[in-house]
Amino acid sequence: MRETTDTRARIQEIALKLFTEQGYEATSLREIAESLGVTKAALYYHFRTKDDIVASLAEDRQAMVERLIEWGQDQPRTIETRREFVRRYADELYGSHHHAFMRFMERNQTALRTHPKVEKMRNLMTSLVGVLWDEGDSTAQRLRSSMAILTLHAAWILLKEEDLGDEERRAAALEVALELIEPRPTGH
């Protein structure tokens, strides 16, 4: 079972890399199999189509986001809960291939526009930022809280310096994200 799980994860990793570099539509299952050093038949054992690979990536990400939303909704509505929520999201985003999946989605928007799993992911992201909102928050505070989540993603796109490591990128993004969720006095 472990070997099957490892093979599935390796297929996802290679496919995600190729889809992001070459584009979803320009990448074939044959190229994925060749990059893995396996036959197409071996690849078919795990995934019949490219769409199946994308669906599996989206499902993995959705499961992570759903767990985090559920945790956040079960917590008291405090600033410390918001801080912990943002930290947990940063840990998930930077501790896995989720950032690569988000980059893939951003670079393949046209090809994925109508994909049902991707649409569900968009809806989940709306629910995710909603956990950071309180009923009495101003529109500006809701926007700042939403930007906190986007900041964690933006660091991958905006901080591309060669000498910047993932941990430094994560720390900078987390610092800004945590500042954004801090409540501000009304009218500021």
Helices 116-130 and 139-158 meet at what angle, rounded to 10?
A: 130
Whole-structure pTM over 0.75, yes or no?
A: yes
Q: CA angle at residue 101 from 92 to 28, to 5 degrees?
A: 150
C-beta separation of 69 from 128 below 8 A: yes
C-beta separation of 56 from 16 below 8 A: no
Is residue 167 scored above 80 in pLDDT?
Answer: yes
Is residue 188 scored above 60 in pLDDT?
Answer: no
How many helices (H) and strands (E) are present in the chain, helices listed first? 10, 0
pLDDT in tens, 51-101: 899 888 888 889 999 999 999 999 999 999 999 999 999 998 887 766 777
**Confidence bin at 148 (pLDDT 50/70/90):** very high
Is residue 1 scored above 50 in pLDDT?
Answer: no
Neighbours of 148 (CB within 10 A): 26
Mean pLDDT (the chain, rounded) = 86
